Amino acid sequence: MSDIIQLLPDHVASQIAAGEVIQRPASALKEMMENSVDAGAGSIQVILKEAGKTLIQVIDNGCGMSMNDARMCFERHATSKIKTADELSYIRTMGFRGEALASIAAIAQVELKTKLHEEETGTLLIIEGSELKTQEQTACNNGTSLAVRNLFFNVPARRNFLKSNAAETRHLIDEFERQALAHPGIAYRLQHDGNEIHQFPAGNLKQRIIQLYGNQYNERLVPVEENTTALNISGYVIKPEFCRKSRGEQFFFLNGRFIKDGYLHHAVTGAFAGLLPKDAYASYFIHLAMDPASIDVNIHPTKTEIKFQDERLVYSILKSAVKRALGKFSIMPSLDFDQEAAFQLPPSKFKETPKMPTVKVDPSYNPFNSDRKEITPVKEWIKMHEETAAMASSTAVEQPEKTVQKRFWEELPAEVFTPVLGKYVMFETDGTLYFVDVYAAQVRVHFDNLIAETKHRHRSQQTLFPKMLEFNAADFVLLNDTIEELKKFGFDISEFGKNTFIINGIPPGFAETDIRTVLDQLLDDVKQNVPELKSNPLHHLARRLAHARARASAFPKNKEEIKHFIEQLFNTENPNHTPGGRKIMTSISQEELTQKFRSPSRL
């Protein structure tokens, strides 16, 4: 038997390694921008074409490279950041593995122009699929310009697995914004297909947050600051009343590197306990600084996962820092400099003569009056309509069950329905108690109505004034991809300037205050890759809008409204469950109720 194990050719090994580091255009952008940061750049410009599939170019004014370094940087495991294994214990740079540029060069066509500040000429390198095509001197600016064209041109299988241009653009913008938040002292600029998406001058973290999310964030930010021998914390959390109902701005940076850590996230949300509105998520922009020897950033190729030497200590310091910041904000009084608040007392009533409270009664009311209206018990009412029920059951074979239920419920008197706890409707029939979750039932009714409306000419309710909604660049790209679906439900929405939409009309019965919430939730679903959003976007959007309508709907005011509402429910496709599978109705039989009162002994 012949030997079957052999060494892979270098170009194949490079492509396999590239798959671990470069998963999509945003992965390449991350590595390229981090190299610019390590080079000491004060300004970084990013140029993209076709969601990075055609071009990703990063231009910086960093230190630049010599001709030899420019050639060596594309070799695997070639790095200027470390020389010995011991240095892995105190890494302070963004890149250090010596894999990024080699991986990019293995799966793309790369053009590098770089020049040292003290040199008169720079270096030009052109590489395709790890093969050096050109190396020569050239005239260029100080720093480095790295252009990556036709990513995955020699790995068509990987290229075919890339998402739509809108989705890949969103990942690219997300990565750009994370880098900009990680290093607010650097000026950044982003262009995509000739359009300028972002331009940030150098500044501090608060200025960068406002540049990204708008001037309204100036009043929403609560500063967090903590300095200890083990950990330094700086940054901001969003005031609880401004936190969004979708996972939005949640950023951790450790020694200038964006990281994801569920344990740290739990620490922050724990500090918000009891302060957040219902269904809201904590938002934060927090920078951590630690001794590199106490962390390990080398556990994942993308370096977004971190291992702490003492994670419990980090957890407790972070939680207490955020809690203290929120506490300081909550007790901070608002000062009125025109009048001293301590003297804002109501006028004294000591000189007024006390008045005896009065009780109003209806002297004509007689609870024993036999002329008052009697309510027919449900069982007696059903008995009175035995003939109708028998006719319905005899035709059940040829009619859908829903139709039979509909006829039955249409004839129930309003008196049988009883509101319970402001959330449920209770009724009793044939020895069984039924409970209807009104909110869930409203979701089902609104969902069916919305789906029906999309099959006809959609209606739109014009807003009193046009509503302007501004999003960050990544969310704007994603939402722009769903405008046509929104229009099918009656949204009169269109682009209006940079990262802004204008809404002139909304679906009937839809609250204007819910517009932002619904769109934020929809964006969150896109980011979380909700399967239904891809398989049936119309169905998913209808569910979101149905919940918004249900939140805006009031509980039925009286028993007549309850009866009408129940009739609407049984006209829907599935009166027992919401579109998401939540149960609408439950019941308890007389036997089950009796069992709950039954004692284990006869005494």
Summarised one tens digit per residue, pLDDT across range 576-591 is 888 888 888 887 787 7
Output 432-437 pairs: Cβ under 8 A, ≥24 positions apart.
Answer: 432/587, 432/588, 432/589, 432/590, 433/587, 433/588, 433/589, 433/593, 434/585, 434/586, 434/587, 435/585, 435/586, 435/587, 435/588, 436/566, 436/569, 436/584, 436/585, 437/582, 437/583, 437/584, 437/585
Where along the chain do the CATH 3.30.230.10 domains lie? 207-330
CA atoms of 35 and 41, how far apart (whole Å):
9
- Exposure class string for 91-104: b at 16+ Cβ within 10 A, else e: bebbbbbbbbbbbb
Which pLDDT does position 126 carry in this prediction? Answer: 94
Which pLDDT does position 310 carry in this prediction? Answer: 86
User: What is the DSSP secondary structure assignment for residue 343, as one 8-state letter?
Assistant: G
CB-count burial class (<10 Å; 0-12, 13-18, 19+) for 346: exposed
What number of helices (H) and strands (E) belong to the chain?
A: 20, 22
CA atoms of 291 and 231, how far apart (whole Å):
8
Contact assessment for residue 24 and residue 152, using Cβ atoms and an 8 Å cutoff: no
Which pLDDT does position 284 carry in this prediction? Answer: 94
The residue among 476, 460, 445, 470 whose CA lies nearest residue 579 is 445
1.10.1200.10, 3.30.1370.100, 2.40.10.120, 3.30.70.141: CATH of 412-603: 3.30.1370.100
Domain 207-330 adopts which CATH fold?
Answer: Ribosomal Protein S5; domain 2 (3.30.230)
Where along the chain do the CATH 3.30.565.10 domains lie? 10-203
Contact assessment for residue 308 and residue 294, using Cβ atoms and an 8 Å cutoff: yes
Contact assessment for residue 114 and residue 140, using Cβ atoms and an 8 Å cutoff: yes
Q: Give Cα separations from 274 to 48, 238, 250, 263, 279 (angstroms).
A: 44, 15, 19, 19, 12
Which pLDDT does position 19 carry in this prediction? Answer: 52
Where along the chain do the CATH 3.30.1370.100 domains lie? 412-603
**Residue 327: half-sphere exposure toward Cβ, Cα within 13 Å:** 7
CB-count burial class (<10 Å; 0-12, 13-18, 19+) for 23: middle
Contact assessment for residue 565 and residue 557, using Cβ atoms and an 8 Å cutoff: no
Ranges under pLDDT 70 in the chain: 1-21, 76-98, 246, 297-304, 330-416, 430, 454-459, 508-514, 527-535, 537, 552, 599-603
CB-count burial class (<10 Å; 0-12, 13-18, 19+) for 236: buried
Which pLDDT does position 309 carry in this prediction? Answer: 82
Strands 250-254 and 284-289, by their bridges, are parallel
CA atoms of 521 and 527, how far apart (whole Å):
10
Q: 589 - beta bridge partners?
A: 432
The residue among 354, 409, 416 whose CA lies nearest residue 379 is 416
Q: Residues near 504 by Cβ (< 8 Å), separated by ≥ 6?
A: 462, 463, 466, 467, 492, 493
Rounded (5°) CA angle 582-586-591? 155
Three-state DSSP class for residue 545:
helix
Supply 532's token pair: 């239904």
Supply 406's token pair: 């509909």
User: What is the DSSP secondary structure assignment for residue 573, as one 8-state letter?
Assistant: S
Domain 10-203 adopts which CATH fold?
Answer: Heat Shock Protein 90 (3.30.565)
The helix (H) or strand (E) run that includes residue 378 is: helix 378-384
- Which ranges of 385-437 does DSSP label H, i.e. alpha helix? 386-394, 401-410
